[in-house]
Every structure is written in C-alpha cells, then in structure tokens.
Amino acid sequence: MSIIVQKFGGTSLGDIDKIKRACSLISRECEKGSQVVVLASAIAGETDKLIKLATQFEAKRSPEEYDVIVSTGEQVSIGLISMCLNQMGIKAKSLLGWQIPIVCDDNNSEAKIIEINKNLIFDLLKQNIVPIIAGFQGIGLKKKRIVTLGRGGSDTSAVAIAASIKADRCDIYTDVDGVYTSDPRIVKKAKKIDRISYEEMLEFSSLGAKILQTRSVEMAMRNNVKVQVLSSTSGKAGTMLVEEEKGMEKALVSGITHSKEECNITLINLQDRPGVAAKIFTSLSDSNINVDMIVQTGSENKKNINFTFTVSNADLKQSLSLMNKNKDNIGFERIITNSKLAKISIIGLGMRTHSGIAKKMFSALASKNINIHVISTSEIKISVLIDEEYAELAIKTLHSAFELD
Amino acid sequence: MSIIVQKFGGTSLGDIDKIKRACSLISRECEKGSQVVVLASAIAGETDKLIKLATQFEAKRSPEEYDVIVSTGEQVSIGLISMCLNQMGIKAKSLLGWQIPIVCDDNNSEAKIIEINKNLIFDLLKQNIVPIIAGFQGIGLKKKRIVTLGRGGSDTSAVAIAASIKADRCDIYTDVDGVYTSDPRIVKKAKKIDRISYEEMLEFSSLGAKILQTRSVEMAMRNNVKVQVLSSTSGKAGTMLVEEEKGMEKALVSGITHSKEECNITLINLQDRPGVAAKIFTSLSDSNINVDMIVQTGSENKKNINFTFTVSNADLKQSLSLMNKNKDNIGFERIITNSKLAKISIIGLGMRTHSGIAKKMFSALASKNINIHVISTSEIKISVLIDEEYAELAIKTLHSAFELD
C-alpha cells in the first residue's frame, strides 16, 4: 500500500469551502487505497495576525513565547481539518509537534528538525485514522518547549515527515498549479514544467520563485523524496521534483526567476589589503545577515578598490549601521546604496555542459539597452542585477531568447 | 515567603493596555516579596471566535478536535503576558496544560482535574521566574490529548493550582470589584460584601451571580483555598471567601441573586402512581439535562396530579422532545411551558438559625402584587420563580426589605 503525504498551505485552507475542498482531496487519495498523512499550515492570514499580536511586545526578548503564540495557527487548522474529515465519515486525528514528537533543536523561530518519532503516525495509519499533523512546529530537544521552523516551515515539515515514514510521494498543495518557466503574471506565455530536477528547483526557490521553501527542497534532495507541487483548486497534475536522470535531455534554460527584494551596498575607495573582505563579512554574518552577490572592482585611485555586495531590503538598515560602525576598521571613504534593483536569474541543468549561454543572456539584455550592475553565476544558474524598472522587459526578453515561450 | 496565585479573566486581558495593567499587578505582587503564579484565560471574545470556527463542523463528532481548537485562546494569552513581563524586566515563562502537566480525565470539554504536577512550577519559582499557566486546559490521563474544563474553567484551574501548591491566597481578577449584595446594575444601593462564606458563595454562583464558576467555589471550599475576587482596574480590595467563623455575626440575608435563564415545564393530568417521577427524571438526566426546581400539585381530577419542573432555556427544546417521546410511558395529558420567568433567590447563613425569613420574603413580594409560581429552598437560600417582567421590582423590594441598602 502506498503512503502519500499531502501538505496544504494557508491559501488552500482560507475559508470553510477551501477546507472542505482540501478534505475532498484527502478523501479522494484515501479512496485510491493509499495511506494518507496530512500536514497543514495555518489558515491564510492567521500567522500574520498572530505575529502582529506578538510583536506588540519585544519579540527578541521572548523568543520562546513568540513561538508559543504563532504556533497556535497550525493548531487551529489541524483541528478544523480533522473535524471536517470526521464529519465526512473519514476517521482523522490531529497531532501537534509535541505529541508526535517532532524533536528539534532549541532555536526558537528557526529550529531545525533533529528526529521524528514515527510510532504514533504508524499506529494511527494501522487503525485507519488519517493523522493530521501541524506543520511549522516541533518541540525543543532540551527545553521541551514549542519551537517553530521559521516562515514557510510547513513545507519542510511535510518533506521531513515524508522522508521519515518513507512516503511514496509528498504532494504540496498551494495556490499555483506547479512550477512555471517564469512568473505567469508577467510572462503570459510561461509554461508549466512537468518535471524538474532537485538542483534546478533549489535555484528556483532561492532565486525568488516563492513556491517551495528552499530548506524543504534541500531536504527532499538529500532524502530523495518525490515531491509534487500542485494546486488544490485546479485538480490537475502539477510539477514533479525528480532526480537528474542520465541521458535526460537537459534543457539549456528551464526557467527564469526574479526578485525585487535585494539592494546594493557599495563601499567606495577601500584600501586594498589582505583581510579586508573578511572584516566586512564577519560583522554581517555575526548579525545573521545573508550576503548574496559580491563584486570587487578597481577604483579611481589605482591602489584602492570599490566593494559591492547585495543584501535583502529587510537587512539594509542594519547592514549600513554595521558598516558605519566599522568604517575606520574597514577603511572606506563613503557608502552608496541602491535599492531599486531586480535580480533576474536563468536556471538550467544544461548550463553545465553547454557554453555560450551567458553570452546569449547578456546579448539579449544588451539588445534592449538593459544595463547590468552585478553578475553572479553557479553551475546551473546565472543571475544579473539590473534596474528595477527594466525587470519585466528583461524577463520577457530572456523568456523568448531561450525559447521558453 | 508567601505564594500568591493571580488569575486574570478575559476582560482583564482585553487589549494591550489591559495586558500591561495585569502585568503591573503581577509586578506589584512580586515587589512585595511574594512568589507569584499566574493563571490566564483567553483574551475577551477570543474563545467565542474559536467556538464559532469550530462549530462550522459537527462538534459532537469531534470532541477531541474541538478542544484542540478552543484551547489555543489561552495559549496566546499566556505567551503575551510572558512577553509583556519579560519586557518589563520580570522573568516569566508560559506553561501549557501538557507541560506541567495538569492531568485530567479524558472527558473533552468538561474534563475534571485528577492531578497537578508541582515540580515545574516550583522549579521556576526557585529560579525567580513567574510561571504563567494556561487556564481551562489540561492533558487527558489515558489519551494524552488536550482537554478543556468547560466554560469558565479557568477559575477552577486557578483554585486547583492554588490548592496544589498550597498558595497563601488566590486572587481572581475580573471586571467587577467583588461580590455585591445584588446586581449593582439593577440595585443602585447594592453594597460590596467584604467577606463571604464558601457556602454562601456557592449559592451566589449557582443562582445566577456570574462571578465565579460554581466548581471553583466547591474546590476552594474543599481545599480551604483563600480566594479573593477583585477588579483588575479599580485596585481596591475585593471580596474574600472565608470559612464560616464561629461566633461570626451571621447576616440573615447576605445577598440577592437573579437568573432569567430558566423555564417552566408543566405536565398536566398525570396519573399519580409510584415511580412516575423517576420515569420523568431518568430520561432527562440520561441526556445530561439539569433539573432545578420541582413541584408536584393536585390536579382538577383528584386521582391525578400536575408536575412542574424547571430547566435552563438552552435545554427546553430537548426536554420537550424527551417528554413527548415518553408521553405514553409517563402518562400525562398535555404540556404547558413558560419561559418568561425569573428566578429570584435570597441567600444567607443566618437562615439556618432564624425563622420568619421566608414569611418576610413572601410578604414583601405580595405587597407589590408579585405572584410566585414555584418556591424552592435549601438551608441557606430561598428561591422563587416569578414572571420575568417583575424581576427588577422584586430584587429592589427584597433588597430594601432585608435592609441591604
């Protein structure tokens, strides 16, 4: 008998009709003879409401209490889903993080899963009861208190449960019916991708496609969990995450993502001596600020350099204050920032073996007079930072250039 | 060092300012050098919102899930109180029913407390951390699932915790500043009672004064917990529940309560034979319907009788259908109901030793031409059922007659 994990995000549980819709999808899977385990997020908007309540006080002083409050959102939704299924005649039982338990480290609001006890889940399945598990939460190993996995953590919960019980498939229901070659709201001709490799999906997730949490993709890849992203309303097959298959025809570029959440910080006229980059990035990483792209260029003065890096808009203020605090130590003249930027990325496994893709990308952008500020690459992606106002034009241009239309 | 339990009801936690106010009351008690343990209800209105969510589905089919949902209200408020205290520089930590644990039976929505583990509470007190405990909830003994104690159960949680840790006092903060001789909204001259015996308070609670849950008063009496009812806004001393003291000047009548939640059911022309009352009340009690007053009177026909009893308005419909279902078995002719009634009760320890109180009550009502439908008495109370429209007049008349003004 196959075991299927079904995960429902907040938008799939937005009101009573959507909850009923989700339950009919659970029921349909049960009727196929599968053993079903359900993971649920909080009802859409509920987590934001709880965060608003909690942030009336200094959340940083009470990280444990913050998690006690925000974790109630999932508690309500698993109760409602179970009630709805019971009413439909399907036996179901809600399970909270501490009940299973889903044991995590004690890092509130960004806990990592350490171990999942499968006994209770299998006990219920044996009794023909559908376990309805709260996503996003667990119990801290040492402190035995509620911890949460951070925003979007329910995807990670679902994949972790699927890996732990060796599920045959993990269906992630959301409000889009899969992964597209680009954002369909911008590119009308964007197409749904039927199968995508974990590696590519990882880039999609980290480069701005808000479909799956990056951590959940990493976990799926590590544990070889078959993840499907699909819509709870359309009923159509979605996008399946798969291992890269040998002999598989690798698309040069499988998709284009964009993100407007980054900004540029440039330190001007920096003395070029060993250890200067370490000085800059130590203070940032000590404050948990993620730096994405980094570029070092010569300066007006030959002995000196300019140093550009990008951080998320949310971290801009703190980054600037850290730089200014260490101005003498780092030794720069002044700072320039730019937050009206967009990062456009092309992603594809084929890049590893095909050359000329970068050239094609830059030419396409040049043909529209789009200026590139920063470039960064990995084995299977190229990202460029451009002025925000050109973002849509750039995406459409690249979508055509790489024949994704 | 004295141990004080402070319990805050929903109206004392209605918004951020009220939460801050509650926390300043906690802080003040800590500054006196007391060890403080806090119990909290859900924020005013929150439980009703959760019940509304849950009752979208058939609650009776999923009593366990119903409790999973409604117990989140208290979880949010203990988190908020702890955050607020931490921000004020007072160390505090929230505790849920399963964390302590507060072990209950497995009766969802009306669980009874079996045992409270004191270790975690004393551990925190030793570390100078104020435990902030969720009222209304516990964990089921066998099923290990969340259970709730029923409406108003937070009072019971507070008294149970106070009894378990042998607290020196249990302060119940609410939106009134104590127990009054009558409802101050009706009787302008009603006075606050400084000290009231457990027995009298038990009658006050069960006869319509919605200040303390009856179960919590019973528990306080059994365990001799010093309970004080007081307002979280006025800051004044409230009403203290005390053991009846010997030689204490016993007020003839210490207060007057009223309730409009009852209705009358009269079975007409019932054959008077042994066991007929048992037949009537067995079916009602099997359905968990509480019968309050019972009167049997002669009927038009000498061999037959009329049988009147009262149930709460909420139970009227089900009671009628039970009676009609058993009509032949019970053997009555027809049913009359009246729901436009009020029950007025006078309460006082002095009744036990003084005669003439009933006479005084009935005369006072007669002097205003108020007709009495049913009378019921206990050692320390007399209740009468009258037409609802005379309720206020009756309360004011009795308040003066017994010199409570």
Give A373-388 pLDDT, tens digit per residue. Answer: 888 888 889 999 999 9
Q: For A34-38, B83-87, B149-153, B206-210, which range has the lowest pLDDT when averaged over its residues? A: B206-210
Cβ atoms of A261 and A216 within 8 Å: the answer is: no
Give me the pLDDT at residue A120, please: 97
As a whole number, the mean pLDDT across chain A is 91
Give me the pLDDT at residue B257, please: 93
Query: For residue range A195-232, what is the model confidence (pLDDT) as tens digits?
Result: 999 999 999 888 877 789 889 999 999 999 999 999 99
Q: For A3-17, A52-66, A242-256, B103-117, which range has the lowest pLDDT when averaged over its residues? A: A242-256
Query: For residue range B284-337, what is the model confidence (pLDDT) as tens digits?
Result: 888 888 888 888 877 556 678 888 899 989 899 999 999 999 898 888 999 999
A84/B145 touch (CB, cutoff 8 Å), yes or no:
no
Confidence grade of residue A88 (pLDDT, cut at 50, 70, 90): very high
CB distance from B72 to chain A under 8 Å?
yes
Give the pair of three-digit tokens for residue A314: 């949310």
Assign 3-state DSSP to chain B and report helix, strand, coil percentages, each to 5.
40, 30, 35
Confidence grade of residue B280 (pLDDT, cut at 50, 70, 90): confident
pLDDT at B243 over 60: yes
Cβ atoms of A269 and A334 within 8 Å: the answer is: yes
Rg, Å, chain A Cα set: 23
Mean pLDDT of B69-97: 97
Nearest to A58 among B58, B87, B94 (CB): B87
CB distance from A98 to chain B under 8 Å?
yes
Cis status of the peptide bond prior to B101, with omega within 30 of 0: yes
Distance between CA atoms of residues A208 and B206, nearest Å: 61
Give me the pLDDT at residue A248, please: 59
As a whole number, the mean pLDDT across chain B is 91
CB distance from B120 to chain A under 8 Å?
no
Please tell me which residue of chain B has the smallest CA distance to A67. Answer: B79
Confidence grade of residue A150 (pLDDT, cut at 50, 70, 90): confident
Beta strands B3-8 and B35-40, pairing class: parallel
Number of CB atoms found within 10 A of residue B322's CB: 17
Distance between CA atoms of residues A240 and A238, nearest Å: 6
Q: Which residues of B touch A86 (CB under 8 A)?
A: 57-58, 61-62, 65
Query: For residue range A277-327, what is the model confidence (pLDDT) as tens digits?
Result: 888 888 888 888 888 888 887 755 667 888 889 998 989 999 999 999 989
In the block, tokens 């042998």 appear at: B166
Give me the pLDDT at residue B248, please: 59
Q: Which residues of A touch B72 (CB under 8 A)?
A: 72, 75-76
Confidence grade of residue A361 (pLDDT, cut at 50, 70, 90): very high
Give me the pLDDT at residue A43, please: 95
Query: For residue range A165-186, what is the model confidence (pLDDT) as tens digits?
Result: 999 999 999 988 899 999 888 9
Nearest to B65 among A61, A62, A79 (CB): A79
Give me the pLDDT at residue A352, please: 81
CB distance from B61 to chain A under 8 Å?
yes
CB distance from A65 to chain B under 8 Å?
yes
Burial of B303: CB neighbours in 10 Å, binned 0-12, 13-18, 19+: exposed
Give me the pLDDT at residue B249, please: 60
Nearest to B94 among A65, A96, A144 (CB): A65
Give me the pLDDT at residue B246, please: 62
Residue A381 DSSP class? E
CB distance from B62 to chain A under 8 Å?
yes
How many Å lie between the alpha carbon of A161 and the closest alpha carbon of chain B? 21
pLDDT at A76 over 70: yes
Please tell me which residue of chain B has the smallest CA distance to A49. Answer: B76
Give me the pLDDT at residue A299, please: 59
Nearest to B72 among A66, A75, A86 (CB): A75
CB distance from A106 to chain B under 8 Å?
no
A76/B53 touch (CB, cutoff 8 Å), yes or no:
yes
Buried b (16+ CB within 10 A) or exposed e, B211-249: bbbbbbbbbbbeeebbbbbbbbeeeeebbbbbeeeeeee
B76/A50 touch (CB, cutoff 8 Å), yes or no:
yes
Query: For residue range B336-386, what is the model confidence (pLDDT) as tens digits?
Result: 999 999 999 999 988 887 778 888 999 999 999 999 988 888 888 999 999
B65/A57 touch (CB, cutoff 8 Å), yes or no:
no
Question: Phi, psi (5° rounding) for residue A297?
Answer: -130, 160
Distance between CA atoms of residues B75 and B133, nearest Å: 9
How many Å lie between the alpha carbon of A185 and the closest alpha carbon of chain B? 34
In the block, tokens 């078959």 appear at: A226
CB distance from A56 to chain B under 8 Å?
yes
Give me the pLDDT at residue B371, please: 92
Task: Please report, as a single letter, which amino acid is at residue A195.
Answer: R
Cβ atoms of B264 and B310 within 8 Å: the answer is: yes
Confidence grade of residue A54 (pLDDT, cut at 50, 70, 90): very high
SS3 B144: coil
More confident residue, A108 or A249: A108
- Nearest by Cα to A211 from A224, A223, A235, A193: A193
Count the residues in chain A: 405
Confidence grade of residue A100 (pLDDT, cut at 50, 70, 90): very high
Please tell me which residue of chain B has the smallest CA distance to A66. Answer: B79
| Domains delineated in chain A | 3-175 (3.40.1160.10)
Give the pair of three-digit tokens for residue B158: 């507070």
More confident residue, B355 or B168: B168
CB distance from A88 to chain B under 8 Å?
no
Find which of B19, B68, B123 to mutate to test the A interface (most A CBs within 10 Å of its CB): B68
CB distance from B56 to chain A under 8 Å?
yes
B72/A68 touch (CB, cutoff 8 Å), yes or no:
no
Distances (CA, A) of A195 to A9, A181, A228: 21, 11, 9
Q: Which residues of B touch A59 (CB under 8 A)?
A: 83
Mean pLDDT of A123-145: 97
pLDDT at A247 over 70: no
A80/B16 touch (CB, cutoff 8 Å), yes or no:
no
Mean pLDDT of B201-210: 84
Query: For residue range A17-27, what is the model confidence (pLDDT) as tens digits?
Result: 999 999 999 99
Mean pLDDT of A255-278: 87
Please tell me which residue of chain A has the smallest CA distance to B62. Answer: A83
Distance between CA atoms of residues A279 and A30, nearest Å: 57
How many Å lie between the alpha carbon of B27 and the closest alpha carbon of chain A? 17
Distance between CA atoms of residues A3 and A126, nearest Å: 12
Buried b (16+ CB within 10 A) or exposed e, A15-35: eeebbbbbbebbbebbeeebb
Q: What percent of chain B has pLDDT over 90?
A: 69
Give me the pLDDT at residue B231, please: 92
Task: Please report, as a single letter, which amino acid is at residue B11.
Answer: T
Q: Which residues of B touch A71 (CB under 8 A)?
A: 75
Scanning A113-272, the segments in alpha helix (DSSP H) are 119-126, 153-164, 198-206, 214-223
Give me the pLDDT at residue A377, please: 87
A54/B79 touch (CB, cutoff 8 Å), yes or no:
yes
Phi-psi region of B375 (alpha: psi -120 to 50; beta: other; left: phi over 0): beta
Q: Which residues of B touch A78 (CB under 8 A)?
A: 68
- ∠ CA A381-A181-A244, nearest 5°, is 60
Nearest to B65 among A54, A71, A82 (CB): A82
pLDDT at B90 over 90: yes
Give me the pLDDT at residue B300, please: 59
Confidence grade of residue A252 (pLDDT, cut at 50, 70, 90): confident
A87/B58 touch (CB, cutoff 8 Å), yes or no:
yes
Scanning A276-381, the segments in alpha helix (DSSP H) are 276-286, 316-325, 327-330, 357-367
Give me the pLDDT at residue A216, please: 94
CB distance from A403 to chain B under 8 Å?
no
